[in-house]
Amino acid sequence: MVQQAPVPVPDSVLEVAGVDKSFAGVHALIGVHFTLRQGEVHALIGENGAGKSTLIKVMTGVYRPDAGRIRFAGRDREFRNPLEAQAAGISTIYQEVNLVPLMSVARNLYLGREPRRLGLVDVRRMNRDAAAELRRFGVDTDVTRPLRTLGLGAQQMVALARAVQVDARVVIMDEPTSSLEPREVDTLFEVIRRLKDHGIAVVYVSHRLDELYAVCDRVTVMRDGAVVHTGEIAGLERLKLISLMLGREPATVREEGATAFDADRDAATEGRPALRATQLNVRHRLHGVSLDIRPGEVVGLGGLLGAGRSETAKAIIGALAADGGSVEVDGTVLRRRSPAAAMRAGVVMLAEDRKAEGIIPSLSVRENIALAALPRLSRAGLVSQAKQDELVRFFMDRLRIKASGPDQRVGDLSGGNQQKVLLARWLCLQPKVLLLDEPTRGIDVGAKAEVQALINELAGDGLGVLLISSELEELIEGSDRVVVLKDGRVVGELAGDQVSEDALLGALAQDGQDRQVGQVGQVGQDRQVGQDRQDHDKEPQS
Amino acid sequence: MTTLAWTGAIRDRDRLLRLLQEYGVYAALAVLFLVAVALDGSFVSSGNVRIQLFQVAPTLLVALGMALVIGTEGIDLSVGAVVALAAAVVPLYLGYGLAPALLLALLLGAATGAVGGAMVAFARVQPIVATLSLMIGVRGLAEIVNGNSAKPVTDAALLGLGSDSFSGVPLMAWIAALCALVVGFVVRRTTFGRRLVAIGDNRQASRLAGLPVRRVLLTVYVVSGVLAALAGVMIVGHGAEADPANQGLNLELNAITAVVVGGTPLTGGRVRVLGTVAGALFMQLITAVLTQHDVPNSYTQIVEAAIICCAVYASQERGTR
């Protein structure tokens, strides 16, 4: 398949050779070799902290390597900044969309290279072209709307369309599907195949193995800053891939199952609920949602994007002002509804958006863990350093938080470790009920397994858990019971043997008056309504 | 090989900038001091040092409050007007003694801070707008109270507060230093201080972590108002007159300058108390040196502007590590 030709191999468009990079003495990349061939889709995988992001940043000029070289299009290159890399033909699509939220969709698409007429931006042509262009990416929308009113998935498509337009030879996608619906993923794959046909090489970073097998040609596995495997993906056993990533034997992985949840755990199905939410109403978003969580029980919350899962959790802790309904903890009705009041009653929520609603980025690991527990660690407003250190040490050990020490800035940790810091923040309050909104999203396989095992263990200790997850596997294996939401209403509940993928899909599909499940994921107005609702959550509530 | 040299240089530059960000203000202060002494040996005479300390003390007090407000990603433009208000009311109540008059001034400072803080915390007015309106309104109020003319002050206790020294160091400087110690301790070691910084860094996450965001914001502005009022009383004592139309003018800007030069980022999430002290001293010293060497005031201002730009540049968060 590779044509024999003079060295270097002519079809390698981007070549990273022997690259080292370290930060403050920590080696992030050690002698990394990575070759990207023209027109291939190359998966780049590894746990968080394995060095994927650093490698990407080295390839795109964000970081400069300490040693080694980068060849692009047959020449040694040193990109001094991302702009240079982009100008040379390396486009990157990050997890977080890097566009201008208040500008129109069309403006964003043509930012910096607007079509002009008589020296002025030709708005009409720009809008027309943008609409046509985006339709090819499955986004059918009014391009004059501000970008932020689009769903995240659609925003990502805009970013992709923009990246492809600027004559890219290499497109790097960092977890492009993390905020996409299944239907959008299909569109993305079509786009990727089209890129391939045009000879554009794609680096594809994702934690979702299914996708890798569906769309990638070759795979590079990284672990602890080094490349541990590169090769064709077809024929590579999935288990082998996981074991390469984790550095563990395939047999161990097989034994432990796909998720780290313990299938045999007995859930308490009797007794007074630790939490009872009754008839929660939030205007336009929730309509009479009720649910119980008993001590030691993991209740899953199922539903599609925009069904009201995050809103339910937020309404329970009072982060979202409810128009009606009540919340009881251990039989006592919460009078005041605010995150602080819920916290005092023993109900805490791990927010979905780690960056915006979770971490305090420039504070240390210590301060982030102790933040909510400060009153317990202080007397007369003075923080006891001894108590605080003891607590922080305990949780850093227990959750195996990988940091250079308690003084490290949380913003510099990997996603998985940030999530653990946030879990520690809540667990040190010794809550009765834990609401987990996408606890394993965007974290690596290892940390994911650890978090899942922890959820299991906590429920075993008698904690009531509400689990929100878009991964069916996680929801099914992790929950004792699943409450299914649709359009802000409870449409079903699965318990015992009913907790299965088929039953869940059935529950989602049952509502006759509404549209079919398969059509819900459309990248059009339908979903944007759901996304708009989610976006509202990001605004501070009083 | 050139690659290595290149990246080595880059790393050194980044490290240099980081060092500069962390310790630049102290180094600059030391260098400036040495230069001042080299130019004129009498600069370190006890008389001159005392004059400088008298002048810097009120600015430092206001800057300490400002540093806290800036730590929450806010700004307090009303502090200069609070100084004027304190100056206006103090002479009216000196008849009851210094303590009641001082207390009343501090209460009014707290009240002004509470109004600004409430606007920011509850009505969610942007800090710059909320305190700008107070800056205008409160100075007007002060002039109404005072009757629009400077009044001489003769109360011995108040004059003592403004001009007495203890162990050769002005009482005002002792008070400012004590306040700096307290504020530093509060920021590092108390729940209030930790919360303040967390709120400045990520307000939404702090709210979801159950922090009393509104209470903390309100308190921060109250503290800023009280410190400004204390500074106002000192200024009246030192000048031996109450002149609300002129006292405290531009003080809010000098305070912000001290905070920024001291390396506290305007984006919140960090409060550098010792840096603020150094920043206030630095600005005081540079003005003194230039003035004492007969540099016209207009040029002094240009130099100050250049220093502010350098400080802001050095204290910027670097994108890459």
Q: Which two tokens stand for residue B193?
A: 């201080």
Q: Supply the angle between the helices B98-121 and B79-93 in degrees, to the nearest 10.
A: 150
- Domain positions in chain A: 12-98+167-256, 263-346+432-533, 363-430
For the stretch A475-489, pLDDT in tens is 888 899 999 887 788
pLDDT of residue A537: 40
- What is the CB neighbour count within 10 angstroms for residue A405? 9
- What pLDDT digit, counting tens, does each position of A241-273 carry? 877 877 766 555 544 555 666 655 555 556 688
Q: How confident is the model at residue A48 (pLDDT cuts 50, 70, 90)?
A: low
Q: What is the pLDDT of residue A165?
A: 74
What's the CA gap between B63 and B134, in Å, rounded?
18
Q: Which of B190, B210, B321 sits opposite A340 (nearest CB)?
A: B210
Sheet holding A67-72, edge to edge: A26-37, A12-23, A67-72, A75-77
Q: Which residues of B touch A62 (CB under 8 A)?
A: 320
List of residues 6+ apart from A141 with CB closer than 8 A: A105, A134, A150, A154, A524, A525, A528
Q: Please answer yes or no on whether B10 and A64 come within 8 Å at the CB atom.
A: yes
Q: Element (H or E) spanning A290, and its range?
A: strand A286-293
In whole angstroms, give the CA distance from residue A249 to residue B219: 57
Kindly indicate whether the domain formed by A12-98+167-256 is annotated with CATH number 3.40.50.300: yes
- Number of other CB atoms surrounding residue A144 within 10 Å: 14
Tell me what pLDDT residue B231 has. Answer: 96
- What local confidence, expressed as pLDDT, does residue A518 receive? 36
Distance (Å) of CA A327 to CA A21, A154, A321, A431, A482: 51, 35, 13, 16, 19
pLDDT at residue number B61:
97
At CA B260, angle to CA B46 and CA B270, rounded to 5?
A: 115
Contacts of B204 in chain A (CB under 8 A): 356-357, 538, 540
Q: Would you state the CATH architecture of domain A263-346+432-533?
A: 3-Layer(aba) Sandwich (3.40)
For the segment A196-231, what is each residue's pLDDT rounded down to a tens digit?
Answer: 888 889 999 887 777 888 899 999 999 888 999 999
**3-class DSSP assignment, residue A479:** coil
Residues B202, A359: C-beta atoms closer than 8 Å: yes
Give the pLDDT confidence of A391-450 residue by residue, as tens digits.
999 999 988 898 888 999 998 888 889 999 999 999 999 999 999 999 988 788 888 888
A378 touches chain B (CB under 8 A): yes
Query: Bigger pLDDT: A412 or B7?
Result: A412
Among B186, B208, B223, pick the best mutation site for testing chain A contact (most A Cβ within 10 A): B208
pLDDT per residue over A267-278, tens digit each?
A: 555 668 899 999
Residue A293 distance to chain B (closest CA, Å): 21
A386 touches chain B (CB under 8 A): no
Handedness of CA B212, B215, B221, B227 (dihedral sign): negative
What's the pLDDT at A266?
54
Q: CA A214 to CA A230: how far, in whole Å?
A: 17
pLDDT per residue as tens digits for the range B20-53:
778 888 998 999 999 998 988 888 888 888 999 9
CB atoms B191 and A358 under 8 Å: no
Residue from A360, A379, A389 whose CB has the most chain B CBs within 10 Å, to mutate: A360
Percent of chain B at pLDDT > 70 equals 94
- pLDDT number for residue A124: 87
Residue pair A64/B10 in contact (Cβ under 8 Å)? The answer is yes
Report how far residue B47's alpha carbon sits from residue B292's, in angstroms, rounded to the nearest whole number. 14
Model confidence at A240: pLDDT above 70? yes
Instruction: Give yes or no on whether A12-98+167-256 and A263-346+432-533 have one common fold.
Output: yes
Do the Cβ atoms of A428 and A373 come closer than 8 Å? yes
Q: State whether residue A363 sits within 8 Å of chain B by CB.
A: yes
Query: What is the DSSP track for A404-452?
Result: S-TTSBGGGS-HHHHHHHHHHHHHTT--SEEEEESTTTT--HHHHHHHH
Could you give the CA distance from residue A312 to residue A435 in angstroms, rounded to a whole number? Answer: 10
A362 and B CB contact within 8 Å: yes
What is the reported pLDDT for A477? 85
Q: Closest approach of chain A CAs to the CA of B165, in angstroms?
A: 33
The string of pLDDT tens digits covering residues B184-243 is 999 999 999 999 999 999 999 999 999 999 999 999 999 999 999 999 999 999 999 989
Cross-strand partners of A15: A35, A71
Choose between A75 and B22: higher pLDDT. A75
pLDDT tens digits, one per residue of A120-169:
888 888 888 888 888 877 777 888 888 888 776 778 788 888 877 767 88
Beta carbons of B270 and A362 less than 8 Å apart: yes
- Please list the alpha-helical segments (H only) found in A257-300: none
Domains of chain B: 45-315 (1.10.3470)
Nearest CA of chain A to the CA of B256: how many Å?
22
> What are A314-353's pLDDT values in tens digits?
999 999 888 888 999 988 898 888 999 999 999 999 998 8
Substitution target from A363, A384, A541 for chain B, most B beta carbons within 10 A: A363
Mean pLDDT rounded to a whole number for chain A: 81
**Cβ(B63)–Cβ(B276) under 8 Å?**
yes
pLDDT over threshold 80, residue A520? no
DSSP readout, B188-243?
HHBHHHHHHHHHHH-HHHHHHTT--HHHHHHHHHHHHHHHHHHHHHHHHHHHTEE-
* Average model confidence (pLDDT) across chain B: 89
The pLDDT score that the predictor gives to residue B251 is 94
Chain A, chain B: beta-carbon pairs less than 8 Å apart: 98
Determine what percent of chain A is predicted with pLDDT higher than 70: 84
